[in-house]
Chains A and B, each alone.
Chain A
């Protein structure tokens, strides 16, 4: 496959970035999108050009590191996948591909396609945990009965990998799907109810302080979420928030 790539280049967070065009050949349909980027970078290195910076780690869809906004969509033209799970068979020979970083005021660009998603870490630190002493004196998990439906919902919410595709794709750059997943994964379970009030208040406050936008229930986030986190979690977080405030 021969592809025409239009890729965002930005030297650092202070520089003014811009698009640069690259033509790449010998790409096979079985390559992952990130392998295609590796091939391009190898070519750039041989040509003594600064390679393109992009985030990646596990390359098996579980770490949430890879980002990229490809042809107008977070993680590219497929549903329920991260960029590392996107394969070149989704493109045709001669295609033009526009590759941009995730864009949000709260996700500043570090270099090229790498953005700083530490705002998510700060939200998590503000309440996305339970304070339980786990130093060998915890009771067996099965001694606390939990409804199957609640356990399933908590697990579904906990599958959020914090990749930021929800923020990237939301027209308002809202982080409510992410925050609501982190709130819900605990609020469904008895262990999470103890600190439920402080958790939702602190996490929503941190989310607002980070400058994310408001959710307008377009549902774009759940469509693009690689883990299929449902926006029903957002309504649940809203309920938790009102309860905590009242």
Chain B
């Protein structure tokens, strides 16, 4: 039986969503660990950012994989949402979804959509200028520019607010998606309690950590 045939089934498509979600969670953790250094050490943040921005393995192997992972997760999410809506056929005139499932689990497409809009802004803010700096204008590399670029972005209270609200939606998305991905992978129910605890800790710690970083730089600079 071909492994590829797994992904033609409904369970296989769910598995792809779960695996790409876990991949993005790993990336998010790494991104957070680098960004949090900006709160206490300009030098460490510049060093790590310079490494990530200039290491060929990160730039030409991991970065394309990451971009593919992000696009795949969103495209698959929207595709499955369309398939699932078609499966309902006609809608109910009254549907008390809130009586049997939390809002966050029923509105992953909405919280994910907000995160997608945020990512467009985030790419416009950081990724596009970075690509422009290195590969279009070919400006000389300055290993100490990253911290200044970061705090410059968060001088704007509007941008800081947009980032903060977006991360609240990311937290909501993770609160369901993180534990759900493990169920989809087929993790035994005896591990559900620790997974639930881990989901809660991760979904609060990482997004609100990002909010803290944005607000910190807005207040301090």
Count residues on chain A whose CB falls below 8 Å from chain B CBs: 49
Question: B1, A213: Cβ atoms under 8 Å?
Answer: no
Which residue in chain B gives the minimum CB-CB distance to A225? B100
Please give the number of chain B residues whose Cβ is less than 8 angstroms from any Cβ of chain A in the complex.
Answer: 44
**Which of A103, A219, A220, A244 is close to B89, meaning CB atoms less than 8 Å apart?**
A103
Which A67-90 residues have a C-beta within 8 angstroms of B? 69, 71-73, 77
Would you list which residues of chain B between 54 and 105 have a CB under 8 Å from chain A? 80, 83-97, 99-102, 105
A245 neighbours in B (Cβ, 8 Å): 1, 3, 5-6
Say yes or no for A154: interface residue by CB 8 A criterion.
no
A156 and B205 CA atoms in complex are apart in Å by 37
A234 to B192, CA, bound (A): 13
Q: With A and B bound together, what is the CA distance between A104 and B86 in angstroms?
A: 9
Q: Are B90 and A241 neighbours in the complex by a CB distance under 8 Å?
A: no
The binding surface of chain A is classed by DSSP as mixed
A72 with B101: CB separation less than 8 A: no
What is the chain A residue whose CB lies nearest that of B2?
A245
Contact between A216 and B105 (Cβ–Cβ < 8 Å)? yes
Closest chain A residue, CB of each to CB of B109: A216
- Check B189–A230 contact: CB distance below 8 A: yes
Which A residues are in CB contact (< 8 Å) with B187? 235
Q: Are A208 and B9 in contact (CB under 8 A)?
A: yes
> Contact: A238 with B1, CB < 8 Å?
no
- Establish whether residues A207 and B10, one from each chain, have CB atoms under 8 Å apart when the complex forms: yes
The interface bits of chain A over 164-202 (1 if a CB of B lies within 8 angstroms of the residue's CB, else 0) are 000001011110100000000000000000000000010
Q: B3 and A214: CB pair below 8 A?
A: no
Contact of A238 among B11, B80, B86 (CB under 8 A): B11
* Candidates B1, B9, B99, B186; contact of A236 at CB < 8 Å: B186
- Chain B residues with Cβ below 8 Å from A104 are 87-89
What chain B residues lie within 8 Å of A125 (beta carbons)? none
Decide: B87 and A172 in contact? CB cutoff 8 A.
yes
CA separation between A244 and B2, bound complex, in Å?
Answer: 11
- Contacting residues, chain A, for B179 (C-beta < 8 A): 217
Check if B192 sits within 8 Å of A217, measured CB to CB.
no
Task: State whether B101 touches A218 (Cβ < 8 A).
Answer: yes
Which of A103, A201, A217 is in CB contact (< 8 Å) with B91?
Answer: A103
Q: Is there contact, CB below 8 Å, between B189 and A105?
A: no
B88-A223 in contact (CB<8A): no
Verify B92–A213 contact, CB threshold 8 A.
Answer: no
B188 at the binding interface (Cβ < 8 Å):
yes
For B189, the chain A residues whose CB sits under 8 A away are 230, 232, 235-236
**CB interface residues, A 47-76, toward B, < 8 Å:** 69, 71-73
Q: What separation, in Å, do the CA atoms of A211 and B10 have in the docked complex?
A: 10
What's the minimum C-beta distance from A187 to chain B, rounded to whole angstroms? 12
User: In the assembled complex, which residues on chain A have CB atoms less than 8 Å from the CB atom of B186?
Assistant: 235-236, 238-239, 242
Q: Give the complex CA separation of A212 and B89 in angstroms.
A: 10
Residues on B with beta carbons closer than 8 Å to the beta carbon of A171: 84, 88, 97, 101, 106
Provide the bound-state CA to CA distance between A232 and B196, in Å. 14
18 pairs, A vs B, C-beta closer than 8 Å:
A72-B94, A72-B99, A103-B88, A172-B87, A204-B9, A207-B10, A212-B10, A213-B10, A214-B10, A214-B13, A214-B83, A216-B84, A235-B189, A236-B186, A241-B6, A242-B15, A245-B1, A246-B3
Known: A73-B96, A204-B11, A219-B101. 8 other contacts (CB 8 A): A105-B86, A105-B89, A169-B100, A173-B87, A214-B13, A217-B176, A217-B179, A220-B100
